[in-house]
Chain A
Amino acid sequence: MKPRYLLCLPLLLLLAMGALLGGCRSEPLPLRLTNISGHMPDLDFKLTDDNGKAVTGANYRGKVVLLYFGYTHCPDVCPLTLAQLHVVMQRLGPLADDARILFVSVDPARDTPAVMHAYVNAFDKRAVGLVGSARAVEALSKRYRSAFTREPGDADGNYEVSHSSAIYIFDRDGKARLLATPSASQDDLVHDLHLLLDTGATP
């Protein structure tokens, strides 16, 4: 009994070390935010980025993606969310270069790629503004059970757009992994993004 047990010990240690170093893929990550793995479809869309280039979800494979819907004429909640995500990105340090904030406009009438470009870059250099036809944006929004409604405008033509406040987080393979709200703790966001950025790094 005893000799056999001793013989096994180094092997066990080796296995444990392997799991630690390699990042055990089969073990669920100890994520803190709402885990949506397997409950939401992979990242997929056909939109135009803030440089005017046609992009799809596939353009962001290999990156951890934070998807958020909003619009530039939103002076309060959208900028706050993007500013908080910027702080999270700063806290991640160089790791954040492998993450992208995709800010999808729910206001196709006013948000042109140029407006979006100035807007997202005022927050974080790893933020990308995405625009598209009302139909394309609606398709993406529906895909993640998100919603937006253009509210009636005033005499000057100003209007607000009510929209989902969720932040959807995808891993490097484009798999939906986490759901966060703008009120989520920055510590939790940093913690979970760290895990997603550390694991599944495609060589």
Chain B
Amino acid sequence: MKPIRLPFLNAGLLLAGLLLAGLLLPGLLLAGGVQAAAADHVHASDAWIRVLPGALPAGAYVTLHNDSAQPVALTGATSTAYAEVMLHHSSTAGGMSRMSMVDTLTVPAHGEAVLAPAGYHLMLMKAKNPVKPGDTVTLTLKFSDGSTLATDFAARPANAIDAGEPHAGH
């Protein structure tokens, strides 16, 4: 099946079309700019932070769901509560535990990526104010397509194992 070639689609018209698009496109992007930043194709669940005593760095965990047909990559996060947030990966090889910085974590199309203890995590450093278990901390997750996702993380005690029950309180 060969595509039907329309006689009126000549080079001149194509050029005019491109020019028109060139004029309109920046305006369209600008208009959509505010909303385009919010990732509506990714949503988060089981977001929590393991709070450690004093000024020790904390690990943040979350499950990301990609509802779109395109893979998207988490590149990091920012927070008003912590001066530094880094995307890390813990691994155990040959009986040794180590942690390394990673640039991106891909959330596959119609799939999910899990940040969980002993694997991927966001390392939170230099809390501006002490974070206590029971607090909620908002982290703005950043994706490779420029979109962001503001996500509320539940601050949990040091000896928590996971995100816990949604409404569990002590």
Category for how many chain A residues contact B: 20 to 34
> Using a CB–CB distance below 8 Å, which chain B residues touch chain A?
50, 52-54, 56-59, 88, 90, 92, 95-99, 117-118, 121, 123-125, 157-161
A115 part of interface (Cβ distance < 8 Å): yes
A75-B121, A76-B88, A76-B117 known; A82 and B54 CB under 8 Å? no
List residues of A whose CB falls within 8 A of some B CB. 72-80, 82-84, 86-87, 115, 118-119, 122-124, 147, 151, 158, 160, 162-166, 181-183
Please state if A122 and B118 are interface contacts (CB–CB under 8 Å): no
Q: Is the CB–CB distance between B118 and A80 below 8 Å? A: yes
> Are A72 and B118 closer than 8 Å at their CB atoms?
no
The CA of A163 and the CA of B159, in the complex, are separated in Å by 20
**B56 to A76, Cβ gap below 8 A?**
no
Q: List 30 A-B contacts (CB under 8 A).
A: A73-B56, A74-B97, A74-B99, A75-B56, A75-B59, A75-B123, A75-B124, A76-B88, A76-B90, A76-B99, A76-B117, A76-B121, A76-B123, A77-B97, A77-B99, A77-B117, A77-B118, A79-B52, A80-B117, A80-B118, A83-B158, A87-B161, A119-B54, A122-B53, A124-B159, A162-B96, A162-B99, A164-B96, A165-B97, A183-B118
Is there an interface contact between A72 and B56, defined as CB atoms closer than 8 Å? Answer: yes
Report the bound CA distance from A37 to B90 in whole Å.
30
